[in-house]
């Protein structure tokens, strides 16, 4: 039972690079580096030698050659040589009767690793060469141990036939297989993410070109009319006003695209939603009056605190309120109602209007960068707003019916 524990312990040490890879690179958009292989292999080698297996003091066995072969394959010759140097120095420090034979074994085993690692990288029969490397390491260790310490070897024959081959063969196969699979999966993930990013960028570029081309085409047309009739000052002034409106619309579209492409900040601080709603009522009331829409805000008397970036939350509220008001522009007695309530540790902001409303298909597409219910909209405002809310741990739900109105419920994590 004691021997089995020692084998299992060595197997654990040999898997350290694989475990640390999956922890460290789990959420990163890059694969392993040479420095990562060096550091993790050094840790693995140090622990394997520190808690090595032994039946006679001074004669130790561990998975050092498995780790050095792994370092050669994934870190290169320089990494392998550094690990060899680490092994030699640490083995000299540990000392004991087995020091000389350990150094001799290391020379032969490292030479075999140098001969095999390039073949391993080039071949498609990786499993075969992996197991072959483990077998060769075991044969070298067993043969040289028997040659230099025959009485010791024969006396502890069962120990050597179990503790040396098993960790070498099984350990190198498990480590190389698992690490190779993880690296391949990471490469697929990175390529998929890059392709997805390129596809998104191409869609955004196409959408931006489409949105900007329309006002520019109008401006170009009216400028040509002004060029054809330079003496008609009345029409020229009219055309000039239209051009200015189209240019202003272009600026608005570009601003929205810049806002959605700008990364969200990590600055989170206490934001009193009640006070923010009062500010929003003052800011958005002139816009509501301009569109003949009544804007009403109802909030509790207590402070309702959330953790967020106040500027981002303010922009979110502007986007939602502006959309609600514009939805009521062509409705008789248009009304937008904001209500803030606190329920079960959550702050719920309800934004309700009696505007044109949406059907089921439109509600499902809300938040998409390419979708807007307005003829001149880009959908970027809600895309940005949804992103901000989700980033701080909030959610958005919507209920709407055509020609009846829309109700948004924004749920924020509440700081009591």
Q: Which is more confidently placed, 35 or 229? A: 35
Considering only CA atoms, which of 151, 194, 218, 267 is closest in space to residue 376? Answer: 218
Taking the C-alpha atoms of residue 381 and residue 250, their distance in angstroms, rounded to an integer, is 15
Q: Domain map of the chain by residue range? A: 2-193, 201-261, 269-413
265 pLDDT band (50/70/90 cuts)? low
Mean pLDDT of 179-188: 88
Among 201-205, 370-374, 380-384, name the most confident range. Answer: 380-384
Instruction: Give dist(CA 42, CA 25) in Å, integer.
Output: 18
The fold adopted by the segment(s) 269-413 is Heat Shock Protein 90 (3.30.565)
pLDDT digits (tens, 9 = 90+) for 85-135: 999 999 898 888 788 888 998 889 898 888 888 888 878 888 888 888 889
| Number of helical (H) and strand (E) elements in the chain, helices listed first | 15, 9
* Residue 29 CB neighbours (<10 A): 11
Determine the Cα–Cα distance for residues 359 and 336; give it in Å rounded to an integer: 19
Distance CA 340, CA 373 (A): 26
Lowest mean pLDDT among 32-46, 119-133, 221-235, 336-350: 221-235
Split at pLDDT 50, 70, 90, the class of 264 is: low
User: Of the ranges 62-71, 227-236, 261-270, which one carries the lowest mean pLDDT score?
Assistant: 261-270
Cα 133 to Cα 172: distance, rounded to the nearest angstrom:
8
Tell how far CA 68 is from the center of its chain: 31
- Cut 0.85: pTM above it: no
What mean pLDDT comes out for the span 210-226?
75
Mean residue pLDDT across the chain:
82
Residue 263 — very low, low, confident or very high, per pLDDT cuts 50/70/90?
low
Confidence of residue 368 (pLDDT cuts 50, 70, 90): low
Q: Which of 164-173, 229-238, 312-321 has the lowest mean pLDDT?
A: 229-238
Q: What percent of the chain has pLDDT over 90?
A: 14
Split at pLDDT 50, 70, 90, the class of 67 is very high
What is the band of 166 on the pLDDT scale with cuts at 50, 70, 90? confident
Evaluate if residue 200 carries a pLDDT over 70: no
| pLDDT for the residue 371 | 46
Query: Residue 239: pLDDT above 90?
Result: no
Per-residue confidence (pLDDT) for residue 253, from 0 to 100: 65
Cα first-last separation, the chain = 55
Q: Using the 8-state DSSP alphabet, how is residue 302 labeled?
A: S
Asked whether the domain spanning 269-413 has the same topology as the one spanning 201-261, the reply is: no
Instruction: Mark residue 162 as left, alpha or beta (left: phi above 0; alpha: psi -120 to 50; beta: remaining).
Output: alpha
Q: 36 and 116 in contact (C-beta within 8 Å)?
A: no
> 201-261 has which CATH code?
1.10.287.130
Residues in the chain: 416
Nearest CA among 358, 324, 357 for reference residue 339: 324
């Amino acid at each position: 039972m004691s021997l089995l524990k020692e084998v299992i312990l060595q197997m654990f040490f040999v898997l350290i690079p694989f475990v640390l890879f999956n922890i460290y690179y789990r959420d990163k958009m890059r694969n392993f580096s040479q420095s990562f292989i060096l550091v993790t292999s050094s840790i693995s080698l140090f622990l394997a030698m520190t808690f090595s297996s032994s039946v006679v003091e001074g004669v130790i066995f561990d998975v050092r050659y498995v780790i050095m072969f792994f370092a050669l394959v994934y870190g290169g010759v320089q990494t392998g040589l550094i690990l060899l140097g680490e092994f030699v120095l640490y083995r000299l420090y540990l000392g004991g009767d087995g020091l000389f034979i350990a150094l001799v074994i290391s020379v032969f085993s490292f030479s075999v690793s140098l001969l095999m690692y390039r073949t391993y990288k080039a071949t498609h029969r990786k499993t075969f060469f992996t197991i072959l490397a483990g077998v060769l390491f075991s044969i070298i260790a067993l043969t040289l141990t028997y040659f230099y310490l025959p009485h010791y070897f024969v006396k502890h024959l069962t120990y050597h036939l179990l503790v040396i081959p098993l960790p070498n063969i099984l350990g190198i196969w498990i480590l190389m297989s698992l690490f190779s699979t993880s690296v391949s999966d990471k490469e697929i993930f990175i390529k998929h993410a890059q392709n997805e990013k390129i596809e998104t960028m191409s869609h955004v570029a196409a959408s931006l070109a489409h949105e900007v081309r329309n006002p520019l085409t109008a401006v170009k047309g009216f400028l040509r009319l002004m060029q054809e009739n330079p003496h008609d000052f009345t029409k020229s002034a009219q055309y000039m006003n239209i051009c200015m409106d189209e240019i202003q619309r272009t600026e608005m579209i570009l601003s929205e695209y810049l806002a959605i492409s700008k990364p969200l900040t990590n600055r989170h601080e206490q934001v009193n939603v009640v006070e923010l709603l009062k500010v929003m009522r003052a800011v958005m009331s002139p816009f509501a009056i301009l569109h003949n829409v009544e804007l009403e805000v109802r909030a509790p008397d207590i402070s309702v605190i959330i953790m967020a970036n106040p500027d981002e939350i303010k922009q979110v509220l502007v986007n939602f309120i502006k959309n609600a008001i514009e939805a009521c522009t062509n409705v008789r007695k248009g009304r937008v109602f904001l209500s803030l309530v606190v329920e079960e540790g959550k702050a719920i902001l309800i934004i309700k209007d009696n505007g044109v409303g949406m059907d089921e298909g439109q509600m499902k597409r809300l938040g998409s960068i390419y979708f807007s219910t307005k003829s001149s909209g880009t959908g970027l405002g809600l895309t940005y707003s949804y992103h901000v809310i989700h980033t701080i741990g909030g959610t958005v739900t919507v209920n709407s019916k055509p020609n009846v109105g829309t109700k948004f419920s924004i749920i924020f994590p509440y700081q009591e």
